[in-house]
């Protein structure tokens, strides 16, 4: 269904984030229909969107929580996720964050270095606890996505390199307050070439074989997240190809008897449910270019400025003949441009504009730069 804004919301002050909870529910249903029969556990990556009404729906569908900061662990607990369904990842966890997660007795820490293991062991010991740990490996698999959201290449800062892994596993075994429960990998985001997940599976199979040969039993495998969405066709492809995604792992990942497999999806779950609604402040004609200047900018949606990312843009008001516009925000930065050369029906001051597929990594990255007020969040379809 094409995006529609209910007439009641035409007078809502702009800009605002518009979340379609009915679409979120349909997405979660499709996700669980693909995951559950194959016995995959899904953790939602909170960093994509941390709004409580969204988290509550996700929790109610039986997903766990994947956090990358102490604040996210706290938010997951506030939203009602059971501590036993929370994992904590991140290349630079502070002592305070680790202590908070230990005290909450979360299910698992995804650790990335011997230096981190030493700190985790000491802090767990001081609390009289044992911390469960999955080691994040850097599988050196190219995700074929934007360089800024590629995380599984040897050159990236994330994970433990394949050659270092045996030594790190041995070191972990020497630490009294840690328990190795599995391996973790996350190779990037907005992955649309699913064969990448077959490669990841094969790499994990090799690692598992090597570790089993050394006598290590791994009850859990966490293959990370990264499934992409269609930014070009948010209406036609509102729900990602979860079947294709899980069947890749089903086909290629070798599971040991009783082994649990976890995935951590963020974007694929929430991206299409969010739309940024904005109003045209001015249309400005320069020598070469016609600008549509919106009341939303990079302070509300940073992805285009940060990654040059594409979002579908629609004028919800006008039905005039199409023209070309550079669609920009009001912020004092030239990178505050949503997209250049956008075909829109003839656009005027006051027209409502929808920027699509912003439910993930949209509102969470908003800032107060230029002393901008935070945009409201509006929920429909509940």
Ligand X SMILES: *Cc1c(COP(=O)(O)O)cnc(C)c1O
Tell me the binding residues for pyridoxal 5'-phosphate.
226, 264-267, 361
What is the dihedral angle through the alpha carbons of 309, 228, 82, 121, rounded to the nearest 10 degrees?
-80
Between 280 and 360, name the residue whose CB sits nearer to ligand X. Answer: 360
Between 17 and 88, name the residue whose CB sits nearer to ligand X. Answer: 88
| Mask for 87-106, x = binds ligand X (CB under 6 A) | --x-----------------
**Residue 148 and residue 157: Cα distance in Å, rounded?**
12
For the chain, count helices (H), then strands (E). 10, 17
The rounded radius of gyration (Å) of the Cα atoms in the chain is 22
Closest separation in Å from C-beta 306 to ligand X = 14
**Residue 362 and residue 276: Cα distance in Å, rounded?**
9
**Residue 338 and residue 352: Cα distance in Å, rounded?**
15
> Which residues ranging from 11 to 70 are in contact with ligand X (CB under 6 A)?
45, 47-48, 66, 68
| Mask for 209-228, x = binds ligand X (CB under 6 A) | ---------------xxxx-
**Residue 14 and residue 28: Cα distance in Å, rounded?**
29
> Which residues ranging from 166 to 195 are in contact with ligand X (CB under 6 A)?
186, 189
Catalytic one among 1, 115, 332, 371? 332
Q: Is 332 a catalytic residue?
A: yes
Between 59 and 372, name the residue whose CB sits nearer to ligand X. Answer: 59
Residue numbers in the known binding site for substrate are 267, 303, 307, 333, 361
**266 near ligand X, rule: CB under 6 A:** yes
Closest separation in Å from C-beta 282 to ligand X = 35
| Mask for 290-329, x = binds ligand X (CB under 6 A) | ----------------------------------------
Residue numbers in the known binding site are 226, 264-267, 303, 307, 333, 361
Contacts 24+ apart (CB under 8 A), 373-379: 375/15, 375/16, 375/17, 375/276, 375/296, 375/300, 376/12, 376/13, 376/16, 376/17, 377/16, 377/17, 377/19, 377/51, 378/9, 378/12, 378/16, 378/17, 378/18, 378/19, 379/19, 379/21, 379/53
Between 27 and 177, name the residue whose CB sits nearer to ligand X. Answer: 27
Between 226 and 329, name the residue whose CB sits nearer to ligand X. Answer: 226
CB of 300 closer than 8 Å to CB of 374 = no
Which residues are marked as active site?
A: 332
Site of interaction with ligand X (CB under 6 A): 45, 47-48, 66, 68, 89, 186, 189, 224-227, 264-268, 360
């Amino acid at each position: 269904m094409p995006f529609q804004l209910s007439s009641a919301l035409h007078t809502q002050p702009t800009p605002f984030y518009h979340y379609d909870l009915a679409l979120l529910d349909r997405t979660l249903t499709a996700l669980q229909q693909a995951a559950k029969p194959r016995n995959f556990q899904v953790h939602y990556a909170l960093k994509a969107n941390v709004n409580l009404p969204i988290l509550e729906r996700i929790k109610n569908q039986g997903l766990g929580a994947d956090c990358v900061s102490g604040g996210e662990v706290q938010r997951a607990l506030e939203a009602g996720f059971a501590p036993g369904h929370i994992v904590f990842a991140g290349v630079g966890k502070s002592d305070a964050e680790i202590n908070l997660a230990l005290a909450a007795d979360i299910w698992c820490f995804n650790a990335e270095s011997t230096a981190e293991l030493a700190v985790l062991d000491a802090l767990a010991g001081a609390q009289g606890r044992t911390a469960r740990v999955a080691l994040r490996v850097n599988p050196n698999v190219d995700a074929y996505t934007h360089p800024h959201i590629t995380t599984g290449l040897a050159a990236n800062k994330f994970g433990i390199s394949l050659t270092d892994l045996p030594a790190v596993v041995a070191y972990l075994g020497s630490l009294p307050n840690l328990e190795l429960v599995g391996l973790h990998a996350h190779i990037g985001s907005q992955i649309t070439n699913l064969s990448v997940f077959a490669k990841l599976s094969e790499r994990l199979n090799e690692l598992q074989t090597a570790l089993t040969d050394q006598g290590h039993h791994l009850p859990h495998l966490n293959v990370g997240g990264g499934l992409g969405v269609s930014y070009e066709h948010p209406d036609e492809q509102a729900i990602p190809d979860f079947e294709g995604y899980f069947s890749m792992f089903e086909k290629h990942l070798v599971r040991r008897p009783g082994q649990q497999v976890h995935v951590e999806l963020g974007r694929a779950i929430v991206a299409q449910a969010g739309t940024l609604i904005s109003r045209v402040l001015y249309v400005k004609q320069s020598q070469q270019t016609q600008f549509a200047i919106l009341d939303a900018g990079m302070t509300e949606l940073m992805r285009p400025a940060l990654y040059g990312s594409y979002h579908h843009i629609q004028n919800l008001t006008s039905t005039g003949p199409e023209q070309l516009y550079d669609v920009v925000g009001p912020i004092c930065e030239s990178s505050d441009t949503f997209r250049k050369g956008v075909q829109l029906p003839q656009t005027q001051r006051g027209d409502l504009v929808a920027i699509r597929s912003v439910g993930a990594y949209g509102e969470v990255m908003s800032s107060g730069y230029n002393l901008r007020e935070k945009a409201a969040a509006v929920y429909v379809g509940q």
